[in-house]
Structure 1
Amino acid sequence: MDLTGEERITAPREAVWNALNDIETLKACIPGCDNLERINEHQIRAGIKVSFGVMKVGFHGLLELSNMVPPHSYTISGKGEGTLAGFAEGAADVRLTQDGNETILSYEIQGDAGGKIAQIGTRILGSAARKIADRFFANIGAAAAAQAEKSDQ
């Protein structure tokens, strides 16, 4: 499953970068996040609940930040295991481009799932992944814009 997208954010690139790397902001922005804990500079322990149609699944796993080029880009990758559902894994390459007073956040996501969760079908998995990605990046944009507005006052 591959997803790409772009979010135009009314905040400078530094503010968006800071939002993408702040554990409390991430926790508030990740749909279904019930636990997020920084282990070190490059690793985060995560727990989320995801809805796939009528099925709600909890995943726990590790996220890793790599290829960091502050405040321009990074890769966030991870693998989560569900209690009975199987696993989901993926990576997102995130790029930030300054455009005047705004930032263009673009992303490319590659993902896969296995076990019982894979049996529900690629169309449902793809749709759920798209909704999560769209909401997450929109939430990050709103958080970064709010933080930038506060710092301007």
Structure 2
Amino acid sequence: MHMSDQREIAAPVSEVWAALLSADTLLACVPGAKEVMGNAEDGFDATVVQKVGPVKATFKGHVSLSDLVEHQSLTLSGEGKGGAAGFAKGGADVKLSETEGGTLLEYEVDAKVGGKLAQLGSRLIDGFAKKMADQFFANLQETLEGPAEPEDDDTEADAPEEKKGWVKRLTGG
């Protein structure tokens, strides 16, 4: 499975770079992560709990970083074993570039699964992998930018909400 996407993050390249190399940030950003330990030089050991379709598994794995070009690009490679559920392995090429609003983060992901997970079908697995990658980078963006501000909508805030059941709506009462 192969996919690519990009995100505009309202933070300087140096902050995005540091976040990608931090175990604490990875713990906060990887969906289902229960533990992430290690460092950029030696790699990270992680425990992640995920449910893919009917299969729920705890994956223990290792992620290593390579091809580091400071503040520009890196490659993440990892493999996780989920016991009877099977395994997942893959990598992501990440590129950072400065923009007026902060940092453009581009990524290309390749992933493979085996075991019971592979039996679920490629459409389910591909959708799950895309969701996981999107969620990771959305979490990274929120970690760096802070939570999104709710939009102001004065009409709802000021007006008391009037609820009517379907019978009253029909009868006008």
TM-score of the superposition, structure 2-length normalised? 0.81
What CA RMSD, in Å, does the superposition of the two structures yield over aligned residues? Answer: 1.2
Aligned residue number for residue 141 of structure 1: 141
Partners of 1:114 and 1:101 in 2: CA distance: 40
Q: Kindly state the Cα deviation for residue 99 of structure 1 after the two structures are TM-superposed.
A: 0.6
Contact persistence 1:81–1:87 (CA under 8 A): yes
- Percent of residue pairs identical: 39
* Residue 115 of structure 1: aligned partner: 115
Q: How many residues align?
A: 146
| Partner in structure 2 of residue 75 of structure 1 | 75
Give the structure 1 partner of residue 27 of structure 2. Answer: 27
Q: Secondary structure at the match of 1:34?
A: strand
Structure 1 residue runs without a partner (length 5+): 147-153
Residue 29 of structure 1: how far off its partner (Å): 0.7
Aligned counterparts of 1:42 and 1:5: Cα–Cα separation in 2: 27
Task: Encode CA deviations 1:104-142: one digit per residue, 9 max, x unaligned.
Answer: 101000111111110011111111111110010011112
Kindly indicate whether residue 12 of structure 2 is the aligned counterpart of residue 16 of structure 1: no
Partner of residue 95, structure 1: 95
Q: Between Structure 1 and Structure 2, which shows a larger proportion of strand residues?
A: 1
* 1:151 paired residue number: none
Q: Which range moved further: 46-55 or 56-65? A: 46-55
Q: Distance in 2 between matches of 1:106 and 1:33?
A: 22
Deviation string 1:71-129 (CA, Å, 9 cap, x unpaired) is: 11100001111111111100000011111131110100011111111001111111111
Bigger Rg over Cα: 2
Q: Specify the alignment match of 1:37 in structure 2.
A: 37
Q: Distance in 2 between matches of 1:30 and 1:16?
A: 15
**What SS is found at the alignment partner of 2:84?**
coil
Cα deviations across residues 51-76 of structure 1 (Å, max 9, x unaligned)? 21232221111101000011111000
Is residue 96–residue 103 contact of structure 2 (8 Å, CA) maintained in 1?
yes
3-state DSSP of counterpart to 1:11:
coil
Q: What SS is found at the alignment partner of 1:84? A: helix
